Amino acid sequence: MALQRCLVAALAVLVASLQAAAIDVCPNAEPYLTCVYNLDWKLPNLTAIILNKNKPAPLITPPPLTLINYAGKPNLLAILPLNAAVDLVGQSIPPRAHNCPVPIFRGPTVKRWAANPKAKYYSLFKPCANAPWPDAPENSFVMGSFGDLSKLTSKQLKSVPQLAYFKRQWGKAFPNLGMCMGTNPCGMNIFIGLENVNQWTSFEYNFGQGALKVVVAPEAFYYSWGVSVGPPAWQPSQPVAWGIDPQALGTLGYSAPVTQLSGTSVGGSVYVSGPLTGSMRSNQLATPLVVFEMGSQSSWWGMLRDNNKRATSMGLRLAPDVVLWNRIRLALRGPRVKYAQLTARTVDSFFWLTAPGQNIRTDLFVAANPSIGSLLNLLFTGAKTDKTHRISAVDVHGHGPGGVAIRLWFAAGKFTLTPAARLIVGTPRIWTDFGAILRVNNLAPNFQKTITVSLNNVAYQLIFCEFNVQCPSGCYSRCNTRLKICVPRSPAPAECPGNTPLPATL
């Protein structure tokens, strides 16, 4: 027994010394990857990790990238050679560069290599330039990567048979595929980035309340264990969006960064970008009250967050058509509203759509949206026919069950106001740029017969009427039945915004 105790003690000392030595020779494993010091440790099946559906809340499993043009319609994420990519990095970089049993590097170091074409390992780590892992200097990962599948040589593949098999099977489908993967095998989490997939894939995610489905040929795909995927389009800053309470007449709303308005994060868990193909209904984001029909897009990106922040953000070459309550269609694709960005909360149907920098003929926009044209015709003459009027920006805000508002911003020009509008605004013409805010609620068959004019940061509220009862009694004295406009009380009570006439010298 004494001999046995001595042997156990000696073995414990030996293990401790080996572990201490391992700590000295694998510095990048500190502080989060210390499981690799265990003598019986081996790299787990990384594909099983990424596909695992039992991730701790609120994390999400990445939706499948289903290859729709191949037999069996495989999920690309299930066939990627993740472990083999680790072997490739281990074969390509001398062990003395990391002194670990597997290639472990600091995340920021790999990103520097990926961003510098002159770096020694640039071609290996090129897809890691936008890697979705956290950028803190203490974060290290077991790395697996290749820059371009077609450029992997026979010499490289000879010692990595799993990767050689993948190239034989899929090299023609993904000739320029690039992959970057970083994993913390101790925490069983994984970060992955793909470039140049360029095959049509079905990408669908069910939020429980609402769903996203697109047919996309991914130019880039990123998955983050947390919410550290950031859209490149949001660099150096995220878009500013517009919000308003559609039921509060006479107000202009408020503009702020979209994450501030939506109460969600800048980053997400899943990001995918590329062209879309198919019909309007093949590519759509559905929420309980609103459906965004995207159709084919020459360029598109989308970002999912996690199950605590069920907001989806996307950028589109052409703005989607917005279908409200399955009965009112806001047509934005037809008049070619370009370069739109959308953030939508699927849980409550709040959304923010912004499209600045437009040059859309007003007559073409209202031809696609006749109900809006009828309202604008009550504001200025020639809304349906004048070819010189231009819309310079479009913003749409959905307030859940509270309704939806659209703000059309008009470029400077000659806008001759109707007699009804002139009564409220106080001038016969507008020469400068201005906005028109239209509203609709979820119980109405169409837009309300009201317009809020935003001019020089002042609100002018127009309420069109036929009878006195249609004019709120506290703020309006009567309905002018000749002009069919509610006449504000004079002086207007302080609680009645949007009734201050412009100076006569304008």
Give, in order, the Cα–Cα distances in Å from 117 to each of 120, 126, 128, 163, 220.
8, 8, 12, 24, 19
Report pLDDT for 12.
Answer: 45
Query: Element (H or E) spanning 273, and its range?
Result: strand 270-273
Share of the chain above pLDDT 70, in %: 93
Report pLDDT digits (tens) over 422-481. Answer: 999 999 999 999 999 999 998 888 999 999 999 999 999 999 999 999 998 888 999 999
Least confident of 15-29, 240-254, 279-293, 410-424: 15-29
Asked whether the predicted pLDDT for residue 9 surpasses 50, the reply is no
Report pLDDT digits (tens) over 231-259. Answer: 999 999 999 999 999 999 999 999 999 99
Q: SS3 sequence, 330-399?
A: ECCCCCCCEEEEEEEECCCCEEEEEECCCCEEHHHHHHHCHHHHHHHCCCECCCCCCCCCEEEEEEEEEE
Query: Element (H or E) spanning 84, and its range?
Result: helix 82-92
φ and ψ of 167, to 5 deg? -65, -40
Asked whether the predicted pLDDT for residue 20 surpasses 50, the reply is no
φ and ψ of 157, to 5 deg? -75, -20
Report pLDDT for 391.
Answer: 98
The two tokens of residue 473 are 């009694």
Report pLDDT for 4.
Answer: 47
Residues 6+ apart with CB under 8 A from 184: 32, 33, 141, 142, 190
How far is it, in rounded angstroms, from Cα 303 to Cα 79?
23
CB 46 within 8 A of CB 192: no
Report pLDDT for 474.
Answer: 86
Maximum distance among all alpha carbons in the chain?
A: 112
Question: Region 117-128: what's the mean pLDDT?
Answer: 96
Report pLDDT digits (tens) over 25-45. Answer: 799 999 999 999 998 999 999
Residues 6+ apart with CB under 8 A from 450: 249, 438, 439, 461, 462, 463, 464
Residues in a beta bridge with 211: 206, 286
Report pLDDT digits (tens) over 326-379. Answer: 999 999 999 999 999 999 999 899 999 999 999 999 999 999 999 999 999 999
Comparing C-alpha atoms, which of 197, 199, 193, 196 is closest to residue 215? 199
Planar angle of CA 397, 400, 406, nearest 5 degrees: 20
Report pLDDT for 501.
Answer: 45
Helix or strand or coil: residue 413? coil
φ and ψ of 295, to 5 deg? 65, -160
Mean of per-residue pLDDT scores for the chain: 91
Asked whether the predicted pLDDT for residue 413 surpasses 70, the reply is yes
Domain ranges of the chain: 23-195, 201-488
User: For the chain, what is the radius of gyration of the CA atoms?
Assistant: 29
Asked whether the predicted pLDDT for residue 14 surpasses 50, the reply is no
Give, in order, the Cα–Cα distances in Å from 304 to each of 114, 119, 263, 334, 394.
25, 33, 15, 27, 24
Strands (E) across 196-239 are located at: 201-208, 210-216, 220-223
The two tokens of residue 289 are 């009250």
Question: Region 151-157: what's the mean pLDDT?
Answer: 94
Cα torsion through 219, 222, 227, 232, rounded to 10: -30
